[in-house]
A and B are shown apart, each in its own frame.
Chain A
Amino acid sequence: MKTLKTFKLGGIHPQEYKIAADQPIEVLPIPKTVDIPVAQNLGAPSKVVVKKGDQVKTGQLIAKGEAFISANVHASVSGKVKKVDDVLDASGYKRPAVTIQAEGDEWEEDIDTSGEIKKEITASQQEIVDKIQEKGIVGLGGATFPSHVKLKVPEGKTAEYLIINGVECEPFLTSDHRLMVEKGEELMVGIEILKKGLGVEKVLIGIENNKPDAIKHLSEIAAQYNNIEVHALKVKYPQGGEKQLIKALLGREVPSGKLPIEVGCVVNNVGTAYAVYEAVQKNKPLIERVVTVTGKKLEKPSNLQVRIGTPVKDLIDKAGGLPGDTGKVVNGGPMMGKALTSLEAPIVKGTSGVIVFPEEEANRPPLKSCIRCGKCVAACPMGLEPLYLAQLSEKELWERAEENLIMDCIECGSCHYTCPSGRPLLDYIRVGKTNVGQMIKNRGN
Chain B
Amino acid sequence: MDKLVISGSPHVHQNTSIPKLMYMVVIAMIPAMLVSFYMFGLGALRVFLISVLSCYLFEYLIQRYLIRGPITINDGSALITGILLAFNVPSSVPWWMMVVGALVAIGMGKMSFGGLGKNPFNPALVGRVFMLISFPVEMTRWPKPIVSREYFSFAGMDDKILDTVTGPTPLGKLQEEGVEGISESSGYADMVLGQMGGSMGEISAIALVIGGLYLLYRRVITWHIPVAYLGSSFALAAILWFADPTQYADPFFHLVTGGLILGVFYMATDYVSSPISAKGQIIFGVGAGVLTIIIRVFGSYPEGVSFAILLMNAATPLINNRFKPKRFGHKPAKAA
A357-397 CB mask vs B (1 if < 8 Å, else 0) is: 10101111110111111100110111111010000000000
Taken residue by residue from 256 to 283, chain B's Cβ proximity to chain A (1 for < 8 Å, 0 otherwise) reads as 0000000000000001100111100100
A418 to B118, CA, bound (A): 20
Does A199 sit within 8 A of B, measured CB to CB? no
Q: Is the CB of B325 within 8 A of A380?
A: yes
Q: Decide if B1 touches A334 in the complex (CB within 8 Å).
A: no
Name the B residues within 8 Å of A384 (CB-CB).
Answer: 325, 327
Residues of chain A within 8 A of B9, CB atoms compared? 330, 332, 334-338, 411, 413, 426
Q: Which residue of B lies closest to A379 (CB)?
A: B14
Q: Does A405 contact B (CB under 8 A)?
A: yes
A368 neighbours in B (Cβ, 8 Å):
17-18, 72, 75
Q: Is the CB of B329 within 8 A of A408?
A: yes
Chain A CB within 10 Å, residue with most, of B72, B325, B326: B325
Shortest Cβ distance from B77 into A: residue: A371
Partner of A324, one of B1, B4, B278: B1
Nearest Cβ in chain B — how far from A369, in angstroms?
4
Contact with A along B53-79 (1 / 0, CB 8 A): 000000000000000000010010000
Residue of A at shortest CB range from B1? A326
Could you say which residues of chain A place their CB within 8 Å of the CB of B16?
418, 420
Q: Which residues of A contact B328 (CB under 8 A)?
A: 9, 243, 247, 253, 256, 381-383, 408
B75 touching A405, Cβ below 8 Å:
no
Min distance, Cβ A384 to any Cβ of chain B, angstroms: 7
Residues of B within 8 A of A43 (CB): none
Tell me whether B300 is interfacial, beta carbon within 8 Å.
no
- In the complex, A171 has a CB within 8 A of chain B: yes
CB pair B117–A369 under 8 Å, yes or no, is: yes
- Complex CA distance for A329 and B4, rounded to whole angstroms: 7
In the complex the two chains form, what is the Cα distance from A304 to B14 in whole Å?
29
CA–CA, A380 to B329, complex, Å? 13
Compute how far the CA of A399 lies from the CA of B168 in the bound complex, rounded to whole angstroms: 57
Q: Shortest distance in angstroms between B328's beta carbon and chain A's nearest beta carbon?
A: 4
Pick from B8, B13, B75, B276: contact of A365, CB under 8 Å: B13
> Looking at B4, B18, B118, B324, which has the most chain A CB atoms within 10 Å of its CB?
B4
- Please give the distance in Å from B301's CB to the nearest CB on chain A: 29
Give chain A's interface residue range (CB within 8 Å of chain B): 35 or more
Interface of B is mostly: loop
Partner of A374, one of B7, B17, B116, B276: B276
> Which residues of chain A in 411-445 are interfacial with respect to chain B, using CB atoms and an 8 Å cutoff?
411, 413-414, 416-422, 424, 426-427, 430
Contacts of A427 in B (CB 8 A): 8
What is the interface residue range for chain B against chain A?
A: 35 or more
Determine if B7 and A364 form an interchain contact, defined as CB atoms under 8 angstroms apart: yes
CA distance A413 to B327 in the complex (A): 17
For A357, give the chain B residue with the smallest CB separation: B11
A-side contacts of B6, CB under 8 Å: 328, 339, 341
- A417 near B10: Cβ-Cβ < 8 Å: yes
Q: Is B326 a contact partner of A255 (Cβ separation < 8 A)?
A: no
Q: Is the CB of A417 within 8 A of B1?
A: no
Contact B271 A325 (CB under 8 A): no
Across the interface, B11 reaches (CB within 8 A) one of A258, A339, A369, A373, namely A339
Q: Which residues of A contact B281 (CB under 8 A)?
A: 374
The yes or no answer to B21 lying at the interface (CB within 8 A) is yes
A28 proximal to B (CB < 8 A): no
* CA–CA, A62 and B7, complex, Å: 33
Q: Within the complex, which residue of B1, B14, B271, B277 is in contact with A359, where a contact is CB–CB below 8 Å?
A: B1
A254 within 8 A of B: yes
Interface centre among B5, B10, B12, B72 (most CB of A within 10 A): B10
Query: Would you call B334 an interface residue if the criterion is a C-beta within 8 Å of the partner chain's C-beta atoms?
Result: no
> Is A14 close to B, CB under 8 A?
yes
Q: Closest CB-CB distance, B156 to chain A, in whole Å? A: 35
Cβ contact within 8 Å between A430 and B8: yes
20 A-B pairs with CB atoms under 8 Å apart are A9-B325, A9-B326, A256-B330, A325-B1, A334-B10, A339-B6, A363-B5, A364-B7, A365-B13, A371-B117, A372-B272, A373-B21, A374-B276, A374-B281, A377-B325, A417-B10, A420-B21, A422-B13, A426-B9, A427-B8
List residues of chain B with CB under 8 Å of any chain A CB: 1, 4-14, 16-18, 20-21, 72, 75, 115-118, 222, 271-272, 275-278, 281, 324-330
Binding site for B on A (CB under 8 A): 9, 12, 14-15, 171, 243, 247, 253-258, 322-330, 332, 334-342, 355, 357, 359, 361-366, 368-374, 377-378, 380-385, 387, 405, 408, 411, 413-414, 416-422, 424, 426-427, 430
